[in-house]
Amino acid sequence: MPDATAVPTHCPYCALQCGMKLRPTGAAEPPAEVVERTDFPVNRGALCGKGRTAPSVLSSRVRLTGPLVRRPDSGALEPASWEEALSAVAEGLRRTRADHGPDAVGVFGGGGLTNEKAYALGKFARLVLATSQIDYNGRFCMSSAAAAHQRAFGLDRGLPFPLEDVPRTGCVILVGSNLAETMPPALRYLTELRENGGKLIVVDPRRTRTAEQADLHLAPRPGTDLALALGLLHLVVAEGRVDEAFVAERTTGWEAARAGAMAHWPEHVERITGVPVPLLREAVALFCDAPSGMVLTARGPEQQSKGTDTVGAWINLCLATGRAGRPLSGYGCLTGQGNGQGGREHGQKADQLPGYRKLDDPAARAHVAGVWGVAPETLPGPGRSAYELLDALGGEVRSLLLMGSNPVVSAPRAAHVEDRLRSLDFLAVADVVLSETAALADVVLPVTQWAEETGTMTNLEGRVLLRRRALDPPAGVRTDLEVLHALAALLGWEKGFPADPEEVFEELRRASAGGPADYSGISYRRIEEEQGVFWPCPGTGPGEDDHAGTPRLFLDRFATADGRARFVPVTHRPPAEETDADYPVVLTTGRVVAQYQSGAQTRRVAELNAAAPGPFVELHPRLAERLGVAEGEPVAVVSRRGRAVAPARITGAIRPDTVFMPFHWYGEGRANTLVNPALDPVSRMPEFKVCAVRLERG
Ligand code: SF4
């Protein structure tokens, strides 16, 4: 019997956007319960612990239920009315603009915001505040893959095919992704791949639970997977495995890419990566012997100061072997944040306008300005990237409006970022909980959560989904769209910032029309009827929405001017910071299954805290013995940026030259205190995945 009281929706956390249903309980703790939803094809009812316990954060016990304003006399955040809080935000932003100019006001968004919010936030920054200084935390997630996608294919969509294709391909190379911890329901695609006779190669410095399922595990030293991909391409050429017809018909730039790969002899690559030559040969055989193949990357290769080139090297391997632009073959990025895909398409990124248009493209400016009813020349140009914006706080950027992000925990060189936030003239934060960043604010605006508001998300497949409001929010909170609507009015924009999400989406459709991420043919009605719609989905006329959407990209042509994919020549280079006598060990950072990103939500869930109560330092028994620490004893990890202390977790599943820390916590175990903010020159991605540290007894 269908449960009429349960509302179909999606999990609030990662980019898999698992389908679920929510049924209001009528109680306070929690106000809703999760009901299985088997009809949604991506997860077919399966959820990880984070999704199953998501309603806990809806409880008033752990969330904000009214605005807070910092009082000058006490210096403390104290309850305030919405009118007072909104007036304080408008006045804080207005004063900075009057004193220092529009670019002294910054805006920082998040990859968890709905498409409607991301769109409205970008429009608010560029029209109401007239600032160029807007970026978002998705820059820290998959921007390197996005940049590499653009360079090679002329279009960035995380996966160019639905996940349902993965079990039917011949071989998957999974690079720097630990699906068992980050999105467990997706693991079944790899299990089914192997059940169907397909092969799985996992590239990861750690023998993770995902790597344990592989036919072949390659464990390169962190920061060397660019060399690894070049070594594999070298062998593809040397062993005559290049798909010459595909390269000739569907690509450009092969000769330069080939020359780059030929400089990377297998023995040389073994010295750089630590991966033995026989395993390199085995990987090439598995990949090339299969009738089709995919390379899927995640944060491992992407969160590096050479992340764009590293992903480019894996794309080159796909192109040379004809594993792209064909059924059941291709390169894809496993996007991390809930709306990491849509969040980068609709204007909260420093260099973009809605529809994945470029802010420095005159035609794009003219189109979007037309939808917004302003002159193109009034739109600011591109601004600073996320880390550069955070680094400028208290200097050229003096006030900040922040929505849906917790950079005190999630940004690189986090202690420095925390200092910069403290040095602002004015900080306003809209969030659902009093995160570590919200606790620093002058004004905190409590906003609704996933289950209490309607909006669209775009999952890692490029599938646009709808989350309908399933229950009423507490009386004291408002939606982010209502906040932007009210602030815009206080700052002189009575019109142009509707609070109704469907009205915002209808405008987003028009703004995206004709752009690379064209949503103009997508409507709320279609999303509900079709279990999501894949972009690009152009409308065929005003008010029409009969395009089928595009589950599979590039089968006929790539999105470049000539329709061919572009090889990009790349060469290996070391990480921005190499180990030396003072800092002899490599630190790499990542996630655990029971926590999500900065932990602002999941650290407030008892079941998740019981499963993952705090940070740890994973290290090899030989390293532990040299240091003289036993399991559970405190280890201090020291980098050039600071020190973090956490209990030792000793395991033979990690390389002896490497330690791993998850980054979900604040306090003395904050891993991002240590991280090097060296930026990729193309994507401006910081180097979360590799820096040099020394270990001390804690
Ligand atoms: Fe939510 Fe991701 Fe877990 Fe699915 S895998 S339940 S989307 S956190």
Closest atom, ligand 1, to C-alpha of 51 = 6
Cβ contact 317:236 at 8 Å: yes
Shortest CA distance to 296 belongs to which of 185, 203, 172? 172
State whether 196 and 294 are in the same domain.
yes
* Average pLDDT for the chain: 96
Distance (Å) of CA 428 to CA 27, 231, 304, 398, 656: 32, 49, 30, 12, 44
pLDDT above 50 (res 1) = no
Terminal-residue alpha carbon distance, the chain? 57
State whether 370 and 411 are in the same domain.
yes
Of the residues 286, 313, 333, which one is the last residue of a structural domain? Answer: 333
Cβ contact 687:305 at 8 Å: yes
Least confident of 57-66, 114-123, 267-276, 494-503: 57-66
Q: For atom 5 of ligand 1, which residue has the closest CA? A: 183
pLDDT at 542: 57
pLDDT at 631: 98
State whether 606 and 663 are in the same domain.
yes
State whether 328 and 350 are in the same domain.
no
For residue 204, the SS3 value is coil
Mutation pick for ligand 1 pocket among 9, 10, 17, 18 (CB with most ligand atoms within 8 Å): 18
With a 6 A CB cut-off, is 465 part of the ligand 1 pocket?
A: no
Query: pTM (2 decimals)?
Result: 0.96
CATH number of the structural domain spanning residue 692: 2.40.40.20
Give domain status of residue 101, yes or no: yes
Residue indicated by tokens 């995919």: 294
Alpha-carbon torsion 376, 382, 386, 388, what sign?
negative
Decide the pairing of beta strands 293-297 and 171-175: parallel
567-618 pLDDT per residue, tens: 999 999 999 999 999 999 999 999 999 999 999 999 999 999 999 999 999 9
Give domain status of residue 455, yes or no: no
Interatomic CA distance for residues 515 and 519, integer angstroms:
9
CATH number of the structural domain spanning residue 347: 3.40.50.740
pLDDT at 335: 87
With a 6 A CB cut-off, is 594 part of the ligand 1 pocket?
A: no
Distance (Å) of CA 472 to CA 3, 4, 26, 36: 19, 17, 11, 21
With a 6 A CB cut-off, is 334 part of the ligand 1 pocket?
A: no
Cα of 182 vs centre of ligand 1, distance in Å, is 8
Residues of the domain holding 607: 585-697
Mutation pick for ligand 1 pocket among 22, 40, 43, 47 (CB with most ligand atoms within 8 Å): 47
Eight-state DSSP code of residue 397: B
pLDDT at 27: 86
| Band of pLDDT at residue 337, cut at 50, 70 and 90 | confident
State whether 247 and 196 are in the same domain.
yes
With a 6 A CB cut-off, is 616 part of the ligand 1 pocket?
A: no
530-546 pLDDT per residue, tens: 999 999 999 866 556 67
Residue indicated by tokens 């609704």: 448
Q: What percent of the chain has pLDDT over 70?
A: 99
**Long-range CB contacts for residues 481-487, cutoff 8 Å, separation at least 24:** 481/116, 481/117, 481/120, 481/453, 483/86, 483/430, 483/445, 483/447, 484/117, 484/120, 484/121, 484/124, 486/82, 486/86, 487/86, 487/89, 487/90, 487/93, 487/124, 487/128
372-392 pLDDT per residue, tens: 999 999 999 999 999 999 999
Distance (Å) of CA 230 to CA 204, 225, 273, 278, 366: 16, 8, 11, 15, 42
Cα of 40 vs centre of ligand 1, distance in Å, is 13
State whether 113 and 164 are in the same domain.
no
Cα of 43 vs centre of ligand 1, distance in Å, is 9
Interatomic CA distance for residues 18 and 54, integer angstroms:
12
State whether 284 and 422 are in the same domain.
no
With a 6 A CB cut-off, is 14 part of the ligand 1 pocket?
A: yes
pLDDT at 543: 58
> Which residues are within 8 A (CB) of 247 and not within 5 positions of it... i.e. 6 or more apart?
254, 319, 320, 322
State whether 222 and 343 are in the same domain.
no
Q: For atom 2 of ligand 1, which residue has the closest CA? A: 14
CA 549, 11, 86 angle in degrees (round to 5)?
A: 100
166-199 pLDDT per residue, tens: 999 999 999 999 999 999 999 999 999 999 999 9
Cα of 51 vs centre of ligand 1, distance in Å, is 5
Closest atom, ligand 1, to C-alpha of 185 = 5
Alpha-carbon torsion 70, 72, 78, 81, what sign?
negative
Cβ contact 257:320 at 8 Å: yes
CATH number of the structural domain spanning residue 233: 3.40.228.10
If one counts every other C-beta atom within 10 angstroms of the C-beta of residue 548, the result is 10
Of the residues 333, 349, 370, which one is the last residue of a structural domain? Answer: 333
Give domain status of residue 291, yes or no: yes
State whether 383 and 260 are in the same domain.
no
State whether 314 and 350 are in the same domain.
no
If one counts every other C-beta atom within 10 angstroms of the C-beta of residue 396, the result is 14
Give domain status of residue 227, yes or no: yes
Mutation pick for ligand 1 pocket among 48, 163, 339, 596 (CB with most ligand atoms within 8 Å): 48
Q: What percent of the chain has pLDDT over 90?
A: 94
Of the residues 304, 333, 362, which one is the last residue of a structural domain? Answer: 333
> Which residues are within 8 A (CB) of 466 and not within 5 positions of it... i.e. 6 or more apart?
454, 455, 456, 524, 527, 528, 532
Give domain status of residue 580, yes or no: no
For residue 664, the SS3 value is coil
364-374 pLDDT per residue, tens: 999 999 999 99
With a 6 A CB cut-off, is 40 part of the ligand 1 pocket?
A: no
Interatomic CA distance for residues 549 and 184, integer angstroms:
27
Eight-state DSSP code of residue 408: H
204-224 pLDDT per residue, tens: 999 999 999 999 999 999 999
pLDDT at 28: 82
Alpha-carbon torsion 14, 17, 18, 19, what sign?
positive
Helix (H) or strand (E) holding 697, with range, is strand 691-697
What's the domain count of the chain? Answer: 3
With a 6 A CB cut-off, is 50 part of the ligand 1 pocket?
A: yes
| CA contacts within 13 A on the Cβ side of 525 | 6
Distance (Å) of CA 541 to CA 505, 544, 595: 17, 5, 44
Shortest CA distance to 102 belongs to which of 383, 385, 477? 383
Cα of 437 vs centre of ligand 1, distance in Å, is 24
Q: For atom 3 of ligand 1, which residue has the closest CA? A: 48
Give domain status of residue 152, yes or no: no
Give domain status of residue 459, yes or no: no
If one counts every other C-beta atom within 10 angstroms of the C-beta of residue 28, the result is 11
418-468 pLDDT per residue, tens: 999 999 999 999 999 999 999 999 999 999 999 999 999 999 999 999 999
388-415 pLDDT per residue, tens: 999 999 999 999 999 999 999 999 999 9
State whether 259 and 388 are in the same domain.
no
For residue 418, the SS3 value is helix
Give domain status of residue 60, yes or no: no
Closest atom, ligand 1, to C-alpha of 338 = 7
For residue 405, the SS3 value is coil
Q: What is the torsion angle, in degrees rounded to the nearest 10, for the CA atoms of residue 488, residue 490, residue 492 and residue 497?
A: 20
With a 6 A CB cut-off, is 300 part of the ligand 1 pocket?
A: no
Cα of 180 vs centre of ligand 1, distance in Å, is 11
Dig out the tokens for 617 from the structure.
Answer: 């330092």
633-668 pLDDT per residue, tens: 999 999 999 999 999 999 999 999 999 999 999 999
Distance (Å) of CA 4 to CA 52, 274, 469, 597: 20, 57, 15, 33
State whether 111 and 241 are in the same domain.
no
